Amino acid sequence: MRRLTAALTLTTTLTLIAGCSTPAEPGRPALPLESSDVISDAGDNGIATSARLFESSEVVVLAADTPEDLARGVHLAISAGAPLLAAGDQAAVDAEIARLGAQRVITVGEVGPLAGSPEITPAGPAATPASISAGVAASLDQDTAEGMEGLAHTAPARTMPPMLATDETSLAAIATARAAGAEVHVLSHPDPRITAETMALVSDQDVLALGEQFGSRERLHTAIDMASHGELPGGGGLVFPGRRMIAFYGHPSGDALGVMGEQPPAEAVERVKAHIENYQVLEEQPVVPAFEIIVTVASEFPGDDGKFTNVGNPEDFRGYIDAITEAGGYAFLDLQPGQATFLEQAKVYEDLLKLPNVGLALDPEWNLQPGEQPLQRVGHAEAAEINEVADWLAQLVRDNDLPQKGLIVHQFQVQMLRDRDQIITDRPELAFILHADGHGTPGQKMDTWHAMREGLTGEWFMAWKNFIDEDTPTFTPEETYNNVDPRPWFVSYQ
């Protein structure tokens, strides 16, 4: 109920929140802030934000937990320069009102009895969405209801740092921040690297992030530190969201292992860019080209090291990496380890992975157990193996001041990642991508897609593969983007 997207009325409320500003006054003390921080607002009621931003307030606005009442409360709180609290946890609300020393509580809707003896002023009849929207365009005090005489905006006691919010931030927290005089930036994703503008914002000054969706203070600091590491193709410093990718998959040796190697690097770039034209018309975000390059290939023969894998020379892949990155794209290095480990193979390509537009892909299908050989059965990987690589890759990002890297994990059978829930995905350095790469009829592919998504946490970004020969038929761009739900962030062609 308290989220910005809870109802249509809240759309106009967001306009109100973003549209108001409180002019700074020279000499006003600043809010004490050692460094950027997160106000978790775990109760989703604005109390934590009020406690952090207001030392005291003669007036408090208390709204019932409905979209209409909260929208009305936002309007009144910003008008009065007073904290907005959402009713629900009555003991916590009473304690915050007492801490603030409030002499007057403006109530909106049914909020229940209050402890202590503040003056209770019920707001007038609930505003409709139209009247709220009209109040945005007009001066705020024109929407003050009967019984609100004498309510005047209180000048903020302290200057505030910029604040970050998303559509998961409670209305009470955002309104309280605005009432305190803060500039609130509503982001489409809870990470300051989402756009070039927010990257610059957090690089220049300390900020407060409103809502537990931003994670811990330490996670926010890591994201802020990485905001100075440069942008990725399409803008911003996150692999996803902010862009989608269309990729060719393959090996430079030719067409036996995928479409990418059917032509030299420059021609492969032009061919994938032609695909992107068909996707970009369906998508508002930038769609950028990518290659998923198989750099180690599982083999039916044990080889000199007995590990049933061929490890390519890193320099053999430079041409494809340079071509796709020069075209404003991204490259993933795909590992088929045989009886080697993902980590030992990843380290072979450390120099390539130090490039800012190069990520890593792990294929459990070709991860063999002792005594197994390729094609005997589909392989699998344990979470510990994935975590080991992710730890190393995240450290590589930190040590070399790189932007976030994408880490693809392939899966088309549940058994390929049997303890997937144990994979640690809370790493700001990495974007975790689950590539559901089953092939067959549309029904078979969608069954695989839904099975791979079962129990998947929100930290994963979904990827889809179109098989040119094995799918019957191959999905068109329209079918890929409009029929596959959720829309895949990464689509590869093999």
Q: Do 304 and 451 belong together in one domain? A: yes
Q: Do 187 and 141 belong together in one domain? A: yes
DSSP code for 417: G
What's residue 118's pLDDT?
84
- What confidence tier does 365 reach under pLDDT thresholds 50, 70, 90? very high
DSSP string, 10-55: HHHHHHHHHH------TTPPBPP-SS-EEE--TTSSSHHHHHHH-S
Residue 126 has pLDDT above 60, yes or no: no
Report residue 351 as tokens: 């120099």
- What confidence tier does 443 reach under pLDDT thresholds 50, 70, 90? very high
Report residue 89 as tokens: 């946890």
Let me know if residue 3 belongs to a domain: no
- What confidence tier does 21 reach under pLDDT thresholds 50, 70, 90? very low
Let me know if residue 92 belongs to a domain: yes
Looking at the chain, the number of H-run helices and the number of E-run strands are: 15, 17
Q: In what order do the strands lie in the sheet with 84-86?
A: 84-86, 59-63, 104-108, 119-122
Residue 26 has pLDDT above 80, yes or no: no
Q: Do 416 and 375 belong together in one domain? A: yes
Please state the domain count of the chain: 2
Q: Do 441 and 304 belong together in one domain? A: yes
Residue 476 has pLDDT above 90, yes or no: yes
Residue 219 has pLDDT above 90, yes or no: yes
Q: Do 60 and 152 belong together in one domain? A: yes
Let me know if residue 231 belongs to a domain: no
Contact 150, 130 (CB under 8 A): no
- What confidence tier does 17 reach under pLDDT thresholds 50, 70, 90? low
Average pLDDT of the chain is 89
Which CATH number characterizes residue 280's domain? Answer: 3.20.20
Q: Do 151 and 271 belong together in one domain? A: no
Contact 133, 155 (CB under 8 A): no
Last residue of a domain, one of 226, 252, 273: 226
CA atoms within 13 A on the CB side of 431: 27
Domain with 63 in it: 9-226
Q: Do 347 and 476 belong together in one domain? A: yes
Last residue of a domain, one of 193, 226, 259: 226
Let me know if residue 143 belongs to a domain: yes
What's residue 12's pLDDT?
45
Let me know if residue 423 belongs to a domain: yes
What's residue 157's pLDDT?
75
Q: Is the dihedral of CA 432, 286, 167, 202 positive or negative?
A: positive
**How far is 337 from 366, CA to CA, in rounded Å?**
6
Q: Do 138 and 250 belong together in one domain? A: no
Q: Do 146 and 258 belong together in one domain? A: no
Let me know if residue 316 belongs to a domain: yes
Contact 378, 372 (CB under 8 A): no
More confident: 52 or 121: 52
Last residue of a domain, one of 198, 226, 254: 226
Let me know if residue 444 belongs to a domain: yes
Q: Do 282 and 396 belong together in one domain? A: yes
Q: Do 157 and 274 belong together in one domain? A: no
**How far is 371 from 173, CA to CA, in rounded Å?**
58
What's residue 374's pLDDT?
72
Residue 9 has pLDDT above 60, yes or no: no
Let me know if residue 233 belongs to a domain: no
List beta partners, residue 344. Answer: none
Residue 229 has pLDDT above 70, yes or no: yes
Contact 247, 289 (CB under 8 A): yes
Q: What is the pTM of this model?
A: 0.88
What's residue 101's pLDDT?
95
Q: Do 318 and 461 belong together in one domain? A: yes
SS3 of residue 225 by DSSP: helix
